[in-house]
Amino acid sequence: MGRDATGEIVMTRPPLPPFTEETARIKVRAAEDGWNGRDPAKIALAYTADSIWRNRAEFVQGRSDIEAFLTRKWARELDYRLIKELWACSGNRIAVRFAYECHDADGNWFRSYGNENWEFHADGLMQRRIASINDLSISEAERKFHWPLGRRPDDHPGLSELGL
């Protein structure tokens, strides 16, 4: 938390831009941890009140839409586990690549691969998220993400180590 020029309390979400490679990696891991927690209301707080998303072909704007989107997502993407990796950063922007595994209600497993472009407000909240995602049907035996639901353990390999 901080105060703006008028003295009003302003929520901040460090690390703040401009990002270095080190602070961008911290931001990426925080996002991964949040999404692996699968709490839509909590995750929505990492975004500006008027945040704009493109997720595949769906357009979302604002925290309430983000919360509704994530609620729908995890109602159908069961046992969701995600890994994000920094691709590049400059100023208030971060590019990441990611993969996640989940299954549907019928037990069919998928690995989804994608790239996200993030843009942050000075307070460290994400104001824009552009995601491109492709899905691959996999067998349960082909799964690579085998940690208990929640935060990925620090000793679990990342995308590069897994050859993804």
pLDDT at 1: 52
- Arithmetic mean of pLDDT over the chain: 95
pLDDT score of 7: 54
Return d(Cα 79, Cα 109) in angstroms, integer. Answer: 10
Q: How many CA atoms lie within 13 A of 90 on its CB side?
A: 2
- Please state, as a whole number, how many other Cβ atoms lie within 10 Å of the Cβ of residue 130: 14
Give the model confidence (pLDDT) of 75-121 as tens digits. 999 999 999 999 999 999 999 999 999 999 999 999 999 999 999 99
Q: Each residue of 41-62: pLDDT tens digit?
A: 999 999 999 999 999 999 999 9
Check residue 10 and give its pLDDT: 60
**Residue pointed to by tokens 């691959």:** 136
Predicted local confidence at residue 11, as pLDDT:
79
* Residue 143 pLDDT > 60: yes
135 - beta bridge partners? 112
What was the pLDDT predicted at 35?
Answer: 98
CB atoms within 10 A of CB 129: 19
pTM: 0.93
Concatenated DSSP letters for 17-33?
SSPPHHHHHHHHHHHHH
Task: Please name the CATH architecture into which domain 13-142 falls.
Answer: Roll (3.10)
Instruction: Give 154's pLDDT tier (boundaries 50, 70, 90).
Output: very high
C-alpha 110/C-alpha 77 separation (Å) is 9
What gap in Å lies between CA 104 and CA 106, rounded to an integer? Answer: 5
Asked whether the predicted pLDDT for residue 127 surpasses 60, the reply is yes
Q: Give the phi and the psi of residue 42 in degrees, each rounded to 5.
A: -70, -45
Share of the chain above pLDDT 90, in %: 93
Contacts of 1 (CB under 8 A, 6+ apart): 9, 10, 11, 12
CA distance linking residue 27 with residue 43, whole number of Å: 13
- Name the nearest CA neighbour of 114 among 59, 54, 155: 54
Averaged pLDDT for residues 7-28: 89
Q: Evaluate if residue 6 carries a pLDDT over 70.
A: no
Question: In the chain, where are the structural domains located?
Answer: 13-142
